[in-house]
Structure 1
Amino acid sequence: MKLETPQLIMTPITQADWSLFYALHVTPVVIEKCFDAPSEEELKTKFEARLKGWTPESDNWLTLVITEKQTHQKVGITGFFLDDGIAEVGYLFMPEFYGKGYGTESLRAVINWAKDECGIDIFKAVVTAGNIASERVLEKCGFTLQEKIPDAYEIGGKKYADHIFTKEAEVK
């Protein structure tokens, strides 16, 4: 599997991507509006689960590594978890690649692939209140805010609302 956009290439995560995966889950500016840093043991378990081959029947995430075409530098990860026909999307980027439009470009490619190759029509995303950049990416990709759940998630000892976004894939 390989997804390509004008600026990016997305391929399934491999063992060689551990350092990127690790950095994305412990770098304070990356995780500050997402989650608390997991223990190394938790992170290794999560990584191993992401390495399993993915099919629509899988009970694990499809995780794709995002690479810049021009520099061949790995910039982040994206993907989704399929539950009862609804794909919950997610993405994380290294901070030096913020503001380049990669979130929107990669998410559009993932949604198009999921629709075309897997017949997935409904997508959702859960964003921690205050993560404005992630909300903007979702809105640019056609997601709409459906629900705010107060005090749903705790990061650094502080409670945050979850913002639930959804999107139905367009018929081409």
Structure 2
Amino acid sequence: MPSSQAIHIITQRLSMRQITQDDWPLFYELHTDPAVIDLCFDAPDKASLLEKFKARLAPWSSHHQQWLSLVITERKTGEVLGITGFCLKEGVAEVGYLLRASAHGQGVGTESLQAVIDWAKSDFGVKQFKAVVTEGNIASERVLEKCGFTLLQTIADAYQIGDTLYADRLYQMG
């Protein structure tokens, strides 16, 4: 798919489109809200986060090793629920997602991730997917399992959030 074409993925409840400059407030919120990031990472400083955001704005191509970030919107209400996406490297797509706390427990993570996986498979022939989850983030692990991922490996004390070391749980599919 040429990078000039708009990316738009639709499910029964959700609509996903590529992130734009106007989504900075959402991106900032998702990366700094303690209810969202508690078991993901420490809140980054604003300058680092802005740099990360700008990198996500570049036109996406399956030939570049950059993140495709998609804004998730509830179709019926127009409410923005979070972001999802992946980074494709050597034929393997690393998936990721962050949802507003108000969207937790609603099936949004599973529905949006499954749609992104299906799209990556059908449009780009992606056969392998991976994800890294901080141990204790049970909700994210359930999303991955519902989408067909299996736990490959647990690496003890691999990631620090605040003053606490956590294990990384590596998942794969395909």
| Alignment partner of 2:61 out of 52, 55, 59 | 55
1:137-162 superposed Cα distances (whole Å, 9 cap, x missing partner): 00000000000001110001211000
Give the equivalent residue in structure 1 for 2:45: 39
2 CA distance for matches of 1:41 and 1:56? 27
What letter is aligned with 1:40?
Answer: K
Q: Percent identical across equivalent pairs?
A: 56
| Alignment partner of 1:80 out of 61, 86, 91 | 86
Report the RMSD for the aligned CA atoms in angstroms: 0.5
Give the equivalent residue in structure 1 for 2:97: 91
Task: Summarize the alignment of residues 18-167 of structure 1 with structure 2, pairs less than 5 Å apart.
Answer: 18-167=24-173
1 CA distance for matches of 2:99 and 2:127? 25
2 CA distance for matches of 1:69 and 1:84? 33
2 CA distance for matches of 1:39 and 1:57? 30
| Alignment partner of 1:13 out of 14, 19, 22 | 19
1:17-73 superposed Cα distances (whole Å, 9 cap, x missing partner): 010000000000100100000000000000000000111111210000000001101
Q: By how many angstroms is 1:98 displaced?
A: 0.8
- The two structures have a TM-score, normalised by structure 1, of 0.97
The alignment of Structure 1 onto Structure 2 pairs a total of residues equal to 168
